[in-house]
């Protein structure tokens, strides 16, 4: 093991975060090509940071950043000087790539996970490409034509995945979203999002896949580790390396749970949390579109992982009749999101109890470790990275005066800052959170010797007040680092604020979250003020009498050029027995009872 890696294992000389802990390097990297920093969330059209995968080589001498060009058809990989974040040489261009979904820096180059056009398919294929010494060494598709044909072919209209590498195992692992095909007669925008006519039991559905590739670029099928189709409608993927397969993995599905599914690669295993969900919508706990990164981190030199996500809590557990015994659905404790973490003993075992599956239970989130527990602010873009062998940094964005949708979608509000909280390897908070309004997290958080944890971001005015399908193109990338010691990172100290955080024992007084909810009664649905959100009086989730749960084939993702709008073809318009849907649409009852207008040919 290199001296550099051993240095990373040593605890940082850091008592707790302070105003000098956060260093920024504004516009340090000239990209050479333009980049759109925003990608719209599928259901809501709300802006998300478009991910820029970032990775540092094991010897610490080089780093790489990947980004999608504004043509939305090429991914560039730029070598970066980890001491200054300046560009080194010219970028590598991968033409026909629609998404940069993961990046691993090696001492002799890099491997990148991209969504690559394929002449035999309508939609792109998840592909790992390895470069050594400046030249392409191999290309390995992990789905698409000829890949796992006997188990059913798939493509990835939006990959929304991640890539990791284990030097001990000599293996890459990729965790990506996959899908089958919508019926050929599907009307409206759904038809444009259909995939090629793939086969198998998963045909017509969205799930995820975990695949392993050797150092030589060969796809390696590993019993108990590889998976061709796992969690349903996964809008949250977390993957981290381990010394041997299966690697540590977490998925969020649309039936009502988040799973540590290392051993199962499916929506089963160890239940981390109950979460309110509806068919096709899991609530973006790990960031949703372009968000599957820096949610699961390994403390170096140990077998302990930390997982972080945004949660609305869970109350009133009911039976999930579709999945059967052992599966539950829940209502949200709040309409806004809070920051939650879970600690593991190893890649498949939690430190504490798993979430309960007791039908009838009034509370379903007592096992959660809350970093925040507020009823008046929303928390989004939750990330985590291990600072050293005993400390981690949890970060999130905060919105004041949130307006939150009762269906598990998202919230709008006034952006008040990006927050950073230090926690130890037992999940306990160390000191108070600090915040900054001019620093964001929009790429992988990586350790750099002498700097702490560093990540890329775009210097911009961040607006979360409403939908936005694209941003202003930029040609430079900023970086920030935290935990390297006061002034020790060589950057400019960020303007920060010390912020006391609310713990579970310091719950804020009851207050109303600004949101429209639909109350449940036999009469047609009407809008009413949001209820007071206390632990004993959680928000009411809209329900519909006589609704039945039906499996959906709805995509939870869309290509960049197809931005969600308020049209009913993208955001379901509420409907009931007396409110008709537009021509060509029908009323569809989602899990939890919410009913919305969907294309007439969509669904079973």
Phi, psi dihedral angles at 513 (to 5 degrees): -80, 125
CA nearest to 335, candidates 285, 408, 400, 252? 408
CA atoms within 13 A on the CB side of 483: 30
Residue 1 in domain? no
Place of tokens 């557990």: 317
In a domain, 226, yes or no: yes
* Per-residue pLDDT at 200: 52
Strand 97-106 and strand 109-116: the pairing is antiparallel
Say whether both 44 and 181 belong to one domain. Answer: yes
- The average pLDDT across 85-112 equals 97
Residues 187 and 47 in one domain: yes
Average pLDDT over residues 513-526: 28
The answer to whether 136 touches 129, Cβ cutoff 8 Å, is yes
Is pLDDT above 60 for 1?
no
List the structure tokens of 461.
């005015």
Query: Can you list the alpha helix ranges (DSSP code H) found in 323-427?
Result: none
Closest CA to 217 of 115, 141, 149, 156: 141
- Residue at token pair 């293996």: 171
Averaged pLDDT for residues 310-339: 93
Give the other-Cβ count within 10 Å of 388's Cβ.
22
> First CA to last CA across the chain, in angstroms?
54
Please determine, for residue 75, whether its predicted confidence score (pLDDT) is greater than 60: yes
Specify if 523 maps to a domain.
no
Distance CA 502, CA 84 (A): 36
Residue 252 preceded by cis peptide, ω within 30: no
Q: Is residue 243 domain-shared with residue 371, that is, in the same domain?
A: yes
Cis (ω within 30 of 0) for the bond into 246? yes
Residue 297 is assigned to a structural domain of this protein: yes
Shared domain for 460 and 591, answered yes or no, is: no
Residue 199 lies in a domain: yes
Q: Using the 8-state DSSP alphabet, how is residue 136 labeled?
A: E
φ, ψ of residue 110 to 5 degrees: the values are -160, 165
* Helices and strands (H and E) in the chain: how many: 2, 39
Contact 320, 286 (CB under 8 A): no
Q: How far apart are CA 317 and CA 407, in angstroms?
A: 17
Domain of residue 100 covers 22-482
| Same-domain check for residues 595 and 464 | no
Between CA 562 and CA 570 the distance in angstroms is: 10
Chosen domain end from 427, 450, 482: 482
CA angle 497, 442, 168 (to 5 degrees): 110
Backbone CA torsion sign across 511, 513, 516, 521 = negative
pLDDT for the residue 575: 61
Question: Degrees (nearest 5) of the Cα angle 190, 49, 129?
Answer: 80
Same domain? 453 vs 582: no
The side-by-side arrangement of strands in the sheet containing 474-483 is 446-448, 452-457, 474-483, 22-35, 492-493
Residue 367 to residue 219: CA distance in whole angstroms = 38
- Closest C-alpha to 102, from 203, 206, 150, 173: 173
pLDDT tier at 601, thresholds 50, 70, 90: very low
Rounded Cα–Cα distance for residues 329 and 271 (Å):
13
Residue 562 has pLDDT above 60, yes or no: no
pLDDT, one tens digit per residue, over 448-501 is 999 999 999 999 999 999 999 999 999 999 999 999 864 445 677 766 776 654
- Length of the chain, in residues: 604
Query: Over the stretch 349-381, which tens digit does the pLDDT of each residue have?
Result: 999 999 999 999 999 999 999 999 999 999 999
Is-contact 248 307, C-beta < 8 A? no
Query: How far apart (Å, rounded) are the C-alpha atoms in residues 136 and 173?
Result: 19
CATH number at residue 126: 2.130.10
Q: How far apart are CA 127 and CA 96, in angstroms?
A: 11
What the block records as the tokens of 450 is 């002498």
Chain centre distance of CA 472: 23
Question: Do 589 and 457 reside in the same domain of the chain?
Answer: no
Q: How far is CA 547 from CA 132, 467, 542, 555, 591, in A?
A: 56, 30, 11, 22, 8
**Domain end position, chosen among 482, 515, 539:** 482
Does a structural domain hold residue 514?
A: no
pLDDT at 584: 59
pLDDT (0 to 100) of residue 149: 82
Rg (CA), the chain: 22
Q: Is residue 315 part of a domain?
A: yes
pLDDT at 240 over 90: yes
Cα angle 500, 300, 1 (rounded to 5 degrees) comes to 150
Note the pLDDT of residue 123.
86
Cα separation, 529 vs 517, whole angstroms? 7
Asked if the structure places residue 310 within a domain, the reply is: yes
* Token pair belonging to 302: 């140990």
Q: What is the residue whose two structure tokens read 């398919």?
A: 121
Give backbone dihedrals phi and psi of 135, rounded to 5 degrees, phi first.
Answer: -120, 150
Query: Is the pLDDT assigned to residue 384 strictly greater than 50?
Result: yes
Q: Which of 388, 438, 402, 441 is nearest to 417 (CA)?
A: 438
Tell me the whole-structure pTM to 2 decimals: 0.81
Average pLDDT, the chain: 80
CA distance 87 to 387: 25
At 357 the three-state DSSP class reads: coil
- Taking Cα atoms as reference points, which of 387, 215, 369 lies closest to residue 298? 387
Instruction: Give bridge partners of residue 597 from the DSSP assignment.
Output: 587
CA-closest candidate to residue 423, choices 403, 463, 394? 394
Q: Do the beta carbons of residue 112 and residue 129 sit within 8 Å?
A: yes
The token pair that represents 337 in the structure block: 């999101």
Q: Do residues 209 and 328 share a domain?
A: yes
Final residue of a structural domain among 453, 482, 511: 482
Are 213 and 353 in the same domain?
A: yes
Backbone angles phi, psi at 361, to 5 degrees: -65, 135
Q: Are residues 591 and 446 part of one domain?
A: no
Query: Which residues in 142-170 belong to E strands, given as ranges?
Result: 162-166
Total count of domains within the chain:
2
**pLDDT tens per residue across span 139-180:** 999 998 888 887 778 888 888 899 999 999 999 999 998 876
598 in Cβ contact with 572 (< 8 Å): yes
Do both 258 and 399 map to the same domain? yes
Confidence class for position 507, pLDDT limits 50, 70, 90 = very low
Residue 443 has pLDDT above 70, yes or no: yes
Dump pLDDT digits (tens) for 269-316. 999 999 998 877 788 899 888 889 999 999 999 999 999 999 999 999
Question: 434 pLDDT exceeds 90?
Answer: yes
- H/E run at residue 89: strand 87-95
Position 62 confidence tier, pLDDT thresholds 50, 70, 90: very high
Q: Give, for 173, the enclosing helix (H) or strand (E).
A: strand 171-179
35 pLDDT band, cuts 50/70/90, is very high
Token pair recorded at residue 473: 């193109």
């Amino acid at each position: 093991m290199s001296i550099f890696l051993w240095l990373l294992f040593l605890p940082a000389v850091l008592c707790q975060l302070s105003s000098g802990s956060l260093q920024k390097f504004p516009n340090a990297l000239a990209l050479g090509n333009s980049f759109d920093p925003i990608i719209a969330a599928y259901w809501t059209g709300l802006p998300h940071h478009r991910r820029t995968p970032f990775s540092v080589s094991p010897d610490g001498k080089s780093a790489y950043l990947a980004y999608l060009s504004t043509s939305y058809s090429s991914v560039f990989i730029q070598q970066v000087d980890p001491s200054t974040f300046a560009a080194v040489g010219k970028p590598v261009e991968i033409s026909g790539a629609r998404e940069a979904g993961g990046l691993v820096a090696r001492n002799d180059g890099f491997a990148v996970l991209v969504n690559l056009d394929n002449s035999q398919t309508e939609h792109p294929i998840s592909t790992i490409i390895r470069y050594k010494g400046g030249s392409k060494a191999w290309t390995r598709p992990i789905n698409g034509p000829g890949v796992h044909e006997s188990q059913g072919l798939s493509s990835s209209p939006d990959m929304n995945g991640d890539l990791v590498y284990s030097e001990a195992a000599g293996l890459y692992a990729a965790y990506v979203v996959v899908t089958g095909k919508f019926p050929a007669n599907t009307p409206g925008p759904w038809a444009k999002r259909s995939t090629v006519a793939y086969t198998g039991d998963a045909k017509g559905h969205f799930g995820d896949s975990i695949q392993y590739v050797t150092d030589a670029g060969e796809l390696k099928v590993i019993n108990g580790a590889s998976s061709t189709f796992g969690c349903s409608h996964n809008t949250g993927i977390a993957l981290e390396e381990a010394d041997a397969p299966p690697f540590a993995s977490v998925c969020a599905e649309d039936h009502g749970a988040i799973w540590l599914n290392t051993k199962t690669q499916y929506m089963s295993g160890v239940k981390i949390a109950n979460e309110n969900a509806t068919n096709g919508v899991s609530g973006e706990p790990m960031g949703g579109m372009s968000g599957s990164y820096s949610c699961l981190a390994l403390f170096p030199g140990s077998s302990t992982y930390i997982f972080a996500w945004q949660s609305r809590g869970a109350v009133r557990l009911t039976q999930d009749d579709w999945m059967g015994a052992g599966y539950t659905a829940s209502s949200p404790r709040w309409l806004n999101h809070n920051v939650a973490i879970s600690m593991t003993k190893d890649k498949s075992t939690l430190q504490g109890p798993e979430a309960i599956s007791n039908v009838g239970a009034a509370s379903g989130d007592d096992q959660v470790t809350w970093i925040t527990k507020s009823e008046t602010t929303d928390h989004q873009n939750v990330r985590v990275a291990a600072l050293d062998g005993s400390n981690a940094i949890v970060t999130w964005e905060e919105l004041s005066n949130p307006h939150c949708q009762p269906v598990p979608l998202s919230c709008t509000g006034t952006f008040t800052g990006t927050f950073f909280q230090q926690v130890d390897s037992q999940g306990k908070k160390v000191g108070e959170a600090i915040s900054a309004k001019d620093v964001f997290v929009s790429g992988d958080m990586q350790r750099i010797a002498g700097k702490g944890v560093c990540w890329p971001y775009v210097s911009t005015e961040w607006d979360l007040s409403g939908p936005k399908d694209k941003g202003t193109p930029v040609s430079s990338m900023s970086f920030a680092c935290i935990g390297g010691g006061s002034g020790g990172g060589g950057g400019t100290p960020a303007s920060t604020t010390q912020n006391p955080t609310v713990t579970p024992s310091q719950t804020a007084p009851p207050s109303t979250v600004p949101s429209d909810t639909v109350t449940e009664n036999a009469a047609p649905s009407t809008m009413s003020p949001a209820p007071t959100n206390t632990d004993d009086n959680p928000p009411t989730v809209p329900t519909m009498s006589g609704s039945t749960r039906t499996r959906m084939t709805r995509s939870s993702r869309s290509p960049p050029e197809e931005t969600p709008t308020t049209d009913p073809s993208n955001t379901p318009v509420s409907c009931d027995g007396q409110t008709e849907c537009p021509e060509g649409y029908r009323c569809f009852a989602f899990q939890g009872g919410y009913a919305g207008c969907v294309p007439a040919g969509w669904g079973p």
